[in-house]
Amino acid sequence: MPKAGTKPIRVSYLGPEATFTHEAALRHFGKEAEYLPADSIAAIFDEVEVGRADRGVVPVENALEGTVNVTLDRLVDSPLVIAGEVRLPIDIHLLTKAEGMRDIRRVLSHPHAVAQCRRWLQKHLPGVAVEEVASTSRAAREASLDPSLAALGSRMAAGHYGLKVLAEKLDTESINVTRFFVLAKEPVPKKGRARTSLLFVVKNEPGSLYRAMGPIAGAGVNMTKIESRPSRRKAWDYVFFMDVEGHAGEPPLAGCLECLRGEVEYLRVLGSYPAEE
């Protein structure tokens, strides 16, 4: 496991303890790291940028709910690089201290978890109030204090807060996976199969995006994702984010990126890192 000097590596994650982001961080770094919960995604970037943490773990997309826009927006201006990724299968359970579902008066969870479990809730807990809170872990913490409450959350949260799993896998979609980025100040050495993330701004002229795609297709590089976000610098100006297979320092991607630089107004490689399936 990576070390910062002689001390355990310090990892900032979206807290409190027992969130899915905490679980992703543990999966990537193991139990020996020092984990530092942060209140927001922006705070995770700040902690790594100023050196209070060596790494940051932030959610970037969910297979059902889509992109975490605040993460992409912060990547535009941050000097940090992407040093890894974690793909975490998300199983959401009903957590409570109640004896049975008939004793539950209110269900709490993060908005994404509520959306993913809405059909189950309507079928099995009709008429029970549902309240959205900042995280699945915060919901579990509140449910641990009141047996009339239940939380939608993970087994990790159940164990951490002493709750029973009253019903399992409420989100029946098999593709519920969340992807996380590992943030660092410096790139990581190449190890195994690589994925590269980059951002670019196209020229303000007809056909500019089409021409930008030319070097990618011509080099036979597999593009696994592309999407745009407003640049927030002027109206109708967009930044494109792209994931491709391969390492930015090796062919064919290295040559492809050189050609791409000539076709766009701005290009920045956000990081090349070990790909996780």
Using one digit for the tens of pLDDT, what is the confidence trace for 241-265? 999 999 999 999 999 999 999 999 9
Q: Give the whole-angstrom CA distance, residue 92 versus residue 140.
A: 12
Q: For the chain, what is the total number of helices (H) and then of strands (E)? A: 8, 17
**Catalytically annotated residue among 20, 45, 180, 181:** 180
Q: Is 178 a catalytic residue?
A: yes
**Catalytically annotated residue among 178, 181, 200, 241:** 178
- The predicted pLDDT at position 173 comes to 67
CB 215 within 8 A of CB 260: yes
Identify the burial level of 70 via C-beta atoms within 10 angstroms of its C-beta, where 0-12 means exposed, 13-18 middle and 19 or more buried.
middle
Strand partners, 199: 241, 268
Here the CATH number for the domain that contains residue 207 is 3.30.70.260
Please indicate, yes or no, whether residues 19 and 84 belong to a single structural domain of this protein.
Answer: yes
Largest interatomic CA distance in the chain: 65
CB 166 within 8 A of CB 95: yes
Given a cut of 80, is residue 209 above it in pLDDT?
yes
Q: Token pair 């000539």 is at which residue? A: 262
Q: Where does residue 44 fall: left (phi above 0), alpha (psi -120 to 50 degrees), or beta otherwise? A: alpha
Q: Token pair 């009339």 is at which residue? A: 148
Q: Give the whole-angstrom CA distance, residue 243 versus residue 241.
A: 7
Q: What is the DSSP letter of 40?
A: S
Mean pLDDT of the chain: 93
- The predicted pLDDT at position 186 comes to 96
Please indicate, yes or no, whether residues 77 and 100 belong to a single structural domain of this protein.
Answer: no
Boundary of a domain, candidates 156, 184, 212: 184
Please indicate, yes or no, whether residues 54 and 180 belong to a single structural domain of this protein.
Answer: yes
Please indicate, yes or no, whether residues 74 and 105 belong to a single structural domain of this protein.
Answer: no
Note whether residue 189 is domain-resident: no
Q: Cβ–Cβ contacts within 10 Å for residue 187, how many?
A: 15
Which of residues 190 and 96 earns the better pLDDT score?
A: 96
- The predicted pLDDT at position 5 comes to 53
User: Strands, E, within 15-72: which ranges?
Assistant: 34-38, 55-62, 66-67
Q: Is 240 a catalytic residue?
A: no
Given a cut of 70, is residue 101 above it in pLDDT?
yes
CB 250 within 8 A of CB 179: no
- The predicted pLDDT at position 234 comes to 74
Identify the burial level of 33 via C-beta atoms within 10 angstroms of its C-beta, where 0-12 means exposed, 13-18 middle and 19 or more buried.
buried
Please indicate, yes or no, whether residues 10 and 39 belong to a single structural domain of this protein.
Answer: yes
Here the CATH number for the domain that contains residue 121 is 3.40.190.10
Using one digit for the tens of pLDDT, what is the confidence trace for 125-143? 999 999 999 899 999 999 9
Please indicate, yes or no, whether residues 11 and 82 belong to a single structural domain of this protein.
Answer: yes
Please indicate, yes or no, whether residues 27 and 69 belong to a single structural domain of this protein.
Answer: yes
Please indicate, yes or no, whether residues 180 and 58 belong to a single structural domain of this protein.
Answer: yes
Boundary of a domain, candidates 155, 184, 213: 184
Q: What is the DSSP letter of 5?
A: T
Boundary of a domain, candidates 154, 184, 214: 184
Using one digit for the tens of pLDDT, what is the confidence trace for 39-91? 999 999 999 999 999 999 999 999 888 899 999 999 999 999 999 999 999 99
Which of residues 7 and 120 earns the better pLDDT score?
A: 120
% the chain with pLDDT above 70: 96
Cis peptide before 252 (omega within 30 of 0): yes
Note whether residue 23 is domain-resident: yes
Please indicate, yes or no, whether residues 19 and 36 belong to a single structural domain of this protein.
Answer: yes
Tally the domains of the chain: 3
- The predicted pLDDT at position 267 comes to 96
- Residue numbers of the domain that contains 233: 194-274
- The predicted pLDDT at position 223 comes to 95
- The predicted pLDDT at position 191 comes to 87
Please indicate, yes or no, whether residues 161 and 211 belong to a single structural domain of this protein.
Answer: no
% the chain with pLDDT above 90: 82
Q: Which ranges constitute the DSSP H helices of the chain?
A: 20-29, 41-49, 69-77, 111-124, 136-143, 155-161, 208-218, 253-261
Please indicate, yes or no, whether residues 35 and 97 belong to a single structural domain of this protein.
Answer: no
pTM: 0.90
- The predicted pLDDT at position 175 comes to 80
Please indicate, yes or no, whether residues 111 and 123 belong to a single structural domain of this protein.
Answer: yes
pLDDT band at 220 (very low <50, low <70, confident <90, very high): very high
